[in-house]
Amino acid sequence: MEKIYEFYIKSTPERIWAALTDAEQTAVYYFGNTFVTDWTPGSVYATQNPNAQGPLGEGTVLEVDAPRRLVMSMTALWDDEVKAEGESRITYEISQIEDSCLLTVTHDRLRDDANQQLYGGWPMILSGMKTWLETGERLTTPGSLMYT
Mean pLDDT for 93-121 is: 97
What confidence tier does 140 reach under pLDDT thresholds 50, 70, 90? very high
Q: Degrees (nearest 5) of the Cα angle 116, 122, 126?
A: 170
pLDDT at residue number 146: 84
Q: What is the pTM of this model?
A: 0.95
pLDDT at residue number 123: 97
Sheet architecture: strand order including 69-76 = 3-9, 100-108, 87-97, 69-76, 57-65, 44-48, 34-36
**Residue 147 pLDDT more than 80?**
no
Cα 31 → chain centroid: 10
What distance in Å separates the CA atoms of residue 93 and residue 90, rounded to the nearest whole number?
A: 10
User: What is the number of structural domains in the chain?
Assistant: 1
pLDDT at residue number 84: 96
**Residue 148 pLDDT more than 90?**
no
Q: What is the CATH number of the domain that holds 48?
A: 3.30.530.20
Domain residues for the domain of 135 are: 3-145
Beta-bridge mates of residue 106: 4, 91
Mean pLDDT for 55-83 is: 97
Mean pLDDT for 97-112 is: 97
pLDDT at residue number 91: 98
Peptide bond into 123 cis (omega under 30): no
